[in-house]
A and B are shown apart, each in its own frame.
Chain A
Amino acid sequence: MKKYTILGLVLLLMTSCSDFLDRFPLGTESNDTYWKTESQANAALVGCYNDWYSMENIIYFDCTSDNAYNPFSWEGWQIAATGAATPSESGRDFFSYTTITRCNTFIANIDRVTTLSEVKRNQMKAEARFLRAFNYFMKVTLYGGVPLVTEPAAMNADQPRDSKEKIIDFVISETKEIAPLLAGTGKGHASTGAAYALKARMEIFAGKYAEAAASCQEVMKLGYALLPDYKSIFFPENENSKEVILNVEYEETSYSDDILGVMPPASSGGWSSINPTQSLVDNYECVDGKPINESSLYNAKDPYKNRDARLAATIVYPGAMYNGAYLNSIEKSDPTGDYYAPYGRSKTGYYPRKYVDNPKIYADIWKNGMNGIVIRYAEVLLTYAEAKIELNQIDQSVYDAINLVRVRAGLPIVDKTIYNSQTKMRELIRRERRSELAMEGIRWFDICRWKIGEEMMNGKVYGALLGTVNATNGNLNLTNERIEVETRIFEANKHYVWPIPQKYIDATPSIKQNPNY
């Protein structure tokens, strides 16, 4: 009997409770049980902001344009500019639907939180819709039409590309609808101004000039203003200044900006990854408000003197004081080791200065809290002016908008005697826009809408003139030998959009490649 008692006991041991196999994450929220409280709703919105855009995009993006050159092909920004991008080697990826999925998930679930007020709920939804619209803006400008997805997609969702117009209309209608809902969001959040500014960007890109001008006027009502000192816009103390409309925000410790170190020269411990071009340098007017080929103040042997102050604020050129020494990237025997030719130095001899005017202000340049400006007020003023010029409605408001920007830069106001036609004004606004917004990641989009790729993105890229730099006063003694960087190719029927990365086409067969790639 005893043995059967033991056997019975053992069999009892073998039947354990049924919930033994129910295991749930201990430190991660489950979507099924989430969405109850207001703080959960807030956190879910924050999750949409995570990685929605980056300082890296802001500072590197001009390397895809005629403003700059990225010497390190593996960083992904060079290939689009040289005209060598292919579907399998497509450079930077803006096709990913990560942010869109995050926003769609938020929008699809936020109504489950029943404790939110209607106003609050709509405002939060509007923020997610803004981030989604921004993402579609990037996609449509870089790739053309893409599949428009506004709800969380299935794993096997296969949807062909929607038309470019459909995406553009979506961005415009979304921004229009959410702009009023975004009033009163906090610092660093999407705002009414940001929505109208994005709307203006989309409209002017689409050639909807009247709408663009109107959108800009909406922004101009909101109290934004230019800072008096151009250079200081990119100083940490002016983060979230009244000129800033939209930021990508960082914090030093656990959501840090870890990219600024790629800009300074090797002598300052930087990577020299972003090299402004001669073409950009030449765009800056002289202090008399005339371009270099018209101004008597321009001296080819001392080319950086008497120039638009924004040149010195944007670019570190040979002979410029930087981080306690005069940059000498043009002299082989330079003791600081910044000579352009060795690897790991700027291949043009020029360095960017925005955000890193004084690299020492960052305790750690590779880990800091510096925000990146995505849209600032000066852009809106210039977009307004451009829209009006294209409409050929060149009234005083156009001159006022441009003059605000120019005067702040220390230039004389627009000479109405010279700039008196749509053609001349177009020439002016394009030059002005390039100078004002250089190295802020906007140039490529301007090239695309102005359709000047064939002219600007073809042929040789140049850097500075070689020569010597006086180490005590920065005086230059230049030769006639100019640095040549690379040769670019631009085909109008191909290069105004990027190739869609092959991996997306592989996984989603209905998506077809852009022409000629």
Chain B
Amino acid sequence: MKKFSIQRKAFLKKKASLVFVSFLSITIGTTQFANATEEKTPFVKSNPLVTQQTINLRGVIKGTDGEPIVGANVVVKGTSNGTISDIDGNFKLNVSANTTIKISSIGYITQEINIGNKTSIVINLVEDTKSLDEVVVVGYSVQKKVNLTGSVAAISNEKLEARPVTSTSTALQGLLPGVTVIQNSGQPGKDNSSIRVRGIGTLNDSNPMYVVDGMVVSTINDLDPNDIANISVLKDAASCAIYGSRAANGVILITTKKGGNKQTTVKYDGYFGLQTPTAQQEYLSSADYAVLYNKALINEGKKAVYTDDQIQKFRDGSDPDNYPNTDWIGLIFKDNAFQQSHRLEVSGGSDKSAFMISLGYLDQNGLIALSDFKRYNARANVSTQFKKWTFGMNLSYIYGDTQEPSNPYTGDMYQILRQANRIAPFVTNQYSNGYYGYIPDGNPKQWLDNGSIRNEKNNTFRGVGNVALDLFEGFKIQQTISYEYKGSSDEKFIKDSQFYNWKTGEKTLYQGPNSQTDIRYSAMTLNLQTLMTYNRTFGKHTVGAIAGYSQDYYRRDWTKGYRKNFLSNDLHELNAGSADGQQANGDAEEFALQSYFGRLTYDYDNRYLFEANVRRDGTSRITEDGRWGTFPSFSGAWRIINESFMANTKSILSDLKLRAGWGLLGNQNVIKSNGDPNYYPYQSLLAQKNYSFDGKVVLGVTPVDGFNPNLKWETSESTNIGLDLGLLNNQLTISADAYWRTTKDILLITPVSALYGLNAPAQNIGKVLNRGFEFQIGYKYNKGDFGFNSIANMSYNHNEILDLGNNGAKIWNENGYSFLQEGYPINAYGGYESIGLFKDPNDLKNSAVINRSRAGLGDLKYKNQNNDDKIDGDDRVYLGSYAPKFVFGLSLDFTWREFDLSMQFNGAAGVKGYVKNEMVGRLNGNTSKPTTMFEDCWDATTNPNGKFPRPLSSWYQNDSESTPSSFWIINASYLRMKNFQVGYTFPQKVCKFLTVSKVRVYYSGQNLLTLSGFSKGFDPEAPAGARAYYPQVKVNTLGLSVTF
């Protein structure tokens, strides 16, 4: 028995893509599918007149190398009588003598054989390199990759499957050129990543548009990555323009798995994993802190508070009640946490119907007690044909339950992390008699032990239903209804806490009363869409056209209830609390979008390709006068490889194509200054702002948010040129793109006059440039049992504000460490330029400082940019950007016999991180603590070569948060092994014995290795300027995948 071969494996992959494509042809309804596969089984009426001798034909289908071909179609020509070859390439078919059978399989040249009177037959199919051309999903259609004129990156499910990632966005990290994915957190249920396509084009919401199965959705993170068949990222305007106003940040098109014309298969995937944190801050011991704290006080002209004797007690731990050394991070975090995932998929169908049903379960415990995420998801994708009609429906339901510990202040987990990063080691957690220690706002471990919980439940239902009609040849019309419902609840129960004087037992700090806050949201989007497509080939001319209409209606409702003074900490539904002091709030918002769009494609002789798109969008967010915007695009490609003069190069060159495109895109997403979406930016609103008279609250309204009736669409203009190159029968593929994108009339919230008195509204201000290039190189090698496949990609993006309409002035953001200014990247870091420490009294005396009365040796020396007599706001300069200049990814896949090994790396370069406050540490007493960075504090006698500024307590001239400077802006370039996986597929005979068709076991490791110049204890992907964050996790998993 031959081993399960590479080719078969490769074949199975092809099969998967066929399945996916064939469904698309049904739901999206273009005949381009036929171009793509060329083996489409035609609908041909069976001929009842033929009555001849019947033969029980047995056959085996093999490739030229003798490997059996699984799942090949065997059809009696001109009929619908057919079958599919089994796992060993065998088939049986009852046929009449002398009939012709047609054998087809994707990736092979179709053969027609007259069987004569033979009862058994061996068929050798020849590989068809031409048909290996991938098909990618583009807006409202699919297209052969070779025929693309725009810039589209695509990956199929193999890259997403069997990886223990919990969210789709994270799964994309490092896989696609031009797509930057940053994961800021490892918290269960909240480990979502941000996705940026080709840099940051706008100053608003820079998230790309997500389209799942043709439906615009708000997020893709609740999607089970294993449900995904294919992801396309539309990057340039030429590809995106059909999505018009919402596509300025790129479009991510996701198609979920479909069934297909095959026997029903059942597949199970599951894994168990253990998570450990990647990096955590390290803080100094209480003794070391006490020494520094004394120094800090002395440096500020105050008295030291800790005696040598006390410091010794901190050090030796002889009196842990009074002189503790508490490791708060250690108390809060567990060493590891468990996670598991199970998924069952059933798919199949006939030549007219297809179905795919999947059920998934994910359970991820957190590294902090009480934090946990559970997700249940179910999906059914079905389609069927009736005469000229096609019906399809995709339904999915996702229930996510996120739990995290809460706290008496903010009610979420972040405050616990932050508190753990600030409470000093010389605060006792629990005294020997059991009482908790605390700082004025409590004790994070006590909060955890107390068991207050925040529970967020998310229900997402999505349904896409469509009906299509093949009206006449090449013309299809389709009506789609899409509906998304998101219901969520956010329930925070805060238990009350009583702290005591541990010596006297008297009550001291009380954190209470206990209270429950319930917020319930429901959001719905209803989309109606009509699509007409036309495709015809006349000789060497292939034309295509799409015309469509779409309308979206969105509404979001929320209600909030609050009660306090519950009888105990056990029951916490609102009814168990006191009606006295209860609160109820609620509101609703809606917006609407209306669109007309169209596309024309023309292909002459597979050599000259041309495409034009236009979309006209109207939005409710802009006044009637300016609400309609038109967004055209044009693109073309020249497939040089198909020119006759290239014939001689075919032995080396297998593909050569030049692409170019230009287009306009819009943006209407306006946000409020607090980051929430603003659905009514042009309307002057009066927010509810109450007051109390004589002990009674009275309803009040007043303007709070500014408004702008002159708003118009933000538009971006982009140009893309690209080159695709295939060598050695596409064993080596290279793709390169260069782009220029300028976004103008940016909907920008920029500081307005101090006299305006309202929150600044969005204005159409400014112009931003993104330009860059992307490069992808793929290499495949197969020999015997060995297979190797690698893809490397690299992107460079240059982001620059060209104009802000303010004569080049800096606009500082509220956070104080980033700014907007012409000539610099968006939200670039800014601050003082630190040029070492003051070590020489004369240098100190003769240099400008922020505050002369507080300046001292060991302070950071800031460059006096304007050479006046002081260091002030005018001396702040550009200090780098949080957006990487380069991002890169590399995936390496090896197969050898039953073994497979894959590694995936991603990284970023030319990027800065900013560390501040709790993440660095401060010397403020018991509500702060220094990290190990402070070990290098300069001291004239003990550490004259120190690079870290002298210790200070309440003076902030060196402070990471109050006085941002380049000292705290750190190179955050990194290279990370995102995934390492080694798998073993059981041999066929074992499978046969087990009566299954495929079994694979694997080990996978996430985030196993990180190389970074970032400071010790920090994750390079940590959010800029964070005061605390849930660390990213390393995950070691063991998984099993069985196909029945």
Residues of A at the B interface (CB closer than 8 Å) are 3, 6-7, 10, 13-14, 16, 20-32, 34, 40, 42-51, 71-73, 78, 83-84, 86-89, 95-102, 104-106, 147, 149, 152-159, 186-189, 239-240, 249-255, 266-272, 324-325, 335-337, 341-344, 363-364, 369, 484, 486-487, 489, 502-504, 506-508, 511
> Are B479 and A46 in contact (CB-based, < 8 A)?
no
Q: Which residue of B lies closest to A343 (CB)?
A: B925
Asked if A153 and B302 make an inter-chain contact with CB atoms under 8 angstroms apart, the answer reads no
Interface residues of chain B, those whose CB is within 8 Å of chain A, are: 300-303, 305, 424, 439-441, 469, 471-472, 477, 479, 499, 501, 503-504, 506-510, 512-513, 528, 530, 532, 549, 551, 553, 564, 581-583, 586-594, 596, 618-620, 624, 627, 679-680, 683-703, 706, 708, 751-758, 760-761, 763, 809-812, 816, 850-851, 853-854, 872-873, 924-927, 954-956, 962
* Cβ-defined partner of A44 (8 Å) among B701, B811, B812: B701
* Nearest CB of chain A from residue B347's CB, rounded to whole Å: 32
Q: Are B700 and A30 in contact (CB under 8 A)?
A: no
CB within 8 Å for A30 and B683 given contacts A153-B756, A254-B583: yes
8 nearest A-B residue pairs (beta carbon): A343-B925, A101-B757, A47-B702, A46-B700, A27-B587, A269-B509, A14-B549, A251-B692
Q: A270 with B440: in contact, given A7-B477, A101-B756, A344-B925 (CB under 8 Å)? A: yes
Measured CB to CB, the closest approach of chain B to A396, in angstroms, equals 37
Chain B residues whose CB sits within 8 angstroms of the CB of A88 once the complex forms = 816, 872-873
Interface of A is mostly: loop
On chain B, the residues within 8 Å of A502 by CB distance are: 812, 873
Compute how far the CA of A96 lies from the CA of B620 in the bound complex, rounded to whole angstroms. Answer: 32
The listed residue (B477, B506, B587, B962) touching A325 by CB distance below 8 A is B506
Is B530's CB under 8 angstroms from A45's CB? no
Q: How far is the CB of B428 from chain A (nearest CB, A)?
A: 11
Given A3-B472, A270-B440: A342 in contact with B925 (beta carbons within 8 A): yes
Residues in A with CB closer than 8 Å to B591 are 23
CA of A21 to CA of B592 in the docked complex: distance in angstroms? 6
**Contacts A26-B587, A46-B698, A87-B873 given: A188-B753 contact, CB under 8 Å?**
no
Q: Is the CB of A7 within 8 A of B471?
A: yes
A30 and B757 in contact (CB under 8 A), knowing A43-B701, A101-B703, A254-B697? no
Considering the chains assembled together, what is the distance between the CA atoms of A43 and B699 in angstroms? 6
Q: Are the C-beta atoms of A335 and B853 separated by less than 8 Å?
A: no
Q: List 6 A-B contacts (CB under 8 A).
A: A30-B684, A47-B700, A99-B757, A336-B506, A484-B303, A502-B873
Closest residue of chain A to B478, judged by CB?
Answer: A10
Instruction: Indicate if the CB atoms of A255 and B695 lie closer than 8 Å.
Output: no
Cβ-defined partner of A508 (8 Å) among B477, B703, B755, B854: B755
Q: Are A186 and B694 in contact (CB under 8 A)?
A: yes
Residues from chain B with a CB closer than 8 A to the CB of A186 are 693-694
Question: What's the least CB distance linking B162 to chain A, in Å?
Answer: 43
Q: Which residue of A lies closest to B556 (CB)?
A: A26
Chain A residues closer than 8 Å to B700, beta-carbon distance: 43-50
Q: Which of A46, A271, A489, A503 is most buried by chain B, counting CB atoms within 10 A of its CB?
A: A46
Q: Contacts A6-B471, A27-B588 given: A89-B962 contact, CB under 8 Å?
A: yes
Taking a contact as CB atoms under 8 Å apart, the answer to whether A153 and B301 are in contact is no
Structural contact, B691 and A46, CB atoms closer than 8 A:
yes
Name the one of A89, A104, A187, A343 contacting B924, with C-beta atoms under 8 angstroms: A343
Additional A-B contacts beyond A239-B695, A484-B303, A506-B811 (7; CB < 8 A): A13-B479, A20-B592, A24-B680, A25-B683, A101-B758, A158-B753, A271-B440
Instruction: Select which of B596, B620, B753, B872 is within 8 A of A21 by beta carbon.
Output: B620
Residue of B nearest to A255 (CB): B692
Shortest C-beta distance, B790 to chain A (Å), equals 47
Q: Which of chain B's residues has its CB closest to A84's CB?
A: B851
Q: A188 near B583 (CB under 8 angstroms)?
A: no
Contacts of A187 in B (CB 8 A): 693-694
Query: A31 CA to B682 CA in the complex, in Å?
Result: 12
Out of A10, A23, A45, A152, which one reaches B592, CB within 8 Å?
A23
* B390, chain A: closest CB distance, angstroms: 14
A31 to B, closest residue via Cβ: B684
Question: Across the interface, do B549 and A102 meet the contact criterion of CB distance under 8 Å?
Answer: no
Give Cα A34 to B501, complex, Å: 55
Given contacts A7-B477, A87-B872, contact A25 B685 (CB under 8 A): yes
Distance in angstroms between the alpha carbons of A240 and B695 in the assembled complex: 10
Min C-beta distance of B580 to chain A, whole Å: 8
Task: Assess the B504–A336 pair: CB atoms within 8 A.
Answer: yes
Query: Which residues from A are CB-within-8-Å of B927?
Result: 343-344
Can you name the residue of chain B whose Cβ is closest to the Cβ of A14? B549
A87 to B872, CA, bound (A): 8
Residues of A within 8 A of B439 (CB): 343-344
Q: Which residue of A lies closest to B437 (CB)?
A: A337
B532 A105 Cβ-Cβ under 8 A? no
**Distance A344 CA – B441 CA, assembled complex (angstroms):** 10
B501 touches A336 (CB 8 A): yes
A249 touches B680 (CB 8 A): no
Cβ B751 vs Cβ A503 within 8 A: yes
Q: How far is the CA of A506 from the CA of B873 in the complex (A)?
A: 10
A7-B477, A251-B696, A344-B439 known; A96-B587 Cβ under 8 A? no
Give Cα A267 to B757, complex, Å.
Answer: 41
User: How far in angstroms is the closest Cβ of chain B from A7?
Assistant: 7
Residue of chain A at shortest CB distance from B300: A486
Q: Is the CB of B471 within 8 A of A3?
A: yes
In contact, B697 and A251 (Cβ under 8 angstroms): yes
A363: contacting residue among B301, B477, B513, B816, CB under 8 A: B513
Q: How far is the CA of A364 from the CA of B586 in the complex (A)?
A: 25
CA distance in complex: A50, B689 (Å): 6
Contacts of B693 in A (CB 8 A): 186-189, 249
How far, in Å, is A497 (CB) from chain B's closest CB?
16
B535 → A minimal CB distance (Å): 17
Known: A23-B679, A101-B756, A506-B751. A29 touches B685 (CB 8 A): yes
Contact B701 A29 (CB under 8 A): yes
Specify the chain B residue showing the minimal Cβ separation from A359. Answer: B510
Provide the bound-state CA to CA distance between A314 and B1027, in Å. Answer: 37
Q: Which of A14, A187, A363 has the most CB of B within 10 A?
A: A14
Could you say which residues of chain B place their CB within 8 Å of the CB of A71? Answer: 954
Decide if B588 touches A335 in the complex (CB within 8 Å): no
Cα A73 to Cα B928 in complex, Å, equals 13
Q: Shortest distance in angstroms between A461's beta carbon and chain B's nearest beta carbon?
A: 11
Chain A positions within 8 Å of B954 at CB level: 71, 73, 78
Report the minimal beta-carbon distance from B439 to chain A, rounded to whole angstroms.
Answer: 6
A269 pairs with B471, CB closer than 8 A: no
> With A and B bound together, what is the CA distance between A18 and B692 in angstroms?
44
B532→A252 contact, CB < 8 A = no
For B619, the chain A residues whose CB sits under 8 A away are: 21
B301 touching A487 by the CB < 8 A rule? yes
Residue on A nearest B690 in the bound complex, by CB? A255
CB distance from B681 to the nearest CB of A (A): 11
Least CB distance, A133 to chain B, in whole angstroms: 16
**Which chain A residue lies CB-closest to B305?**
A341
* Most chain A beta-carbon contacts within 10 A, residue among B755, B872, B962: B755
Q: Judge whether A153 and B753 touch: CB under 8 Å.
A: yes
Instruction: Check if B594 sits within 8 Å of A20, measured CB to CB.
Output: yes
Option from A26, A50, A86, A341 in Cβ contact (under 8 Å) with B690: A50
A504 surroundings in chain B (CB, below 8 A)? 754
CA distance in complex: A34, B587 (Å): 18
In the complex, chain B residues whose CB is within 8 Å of the CB of A249: 691-695
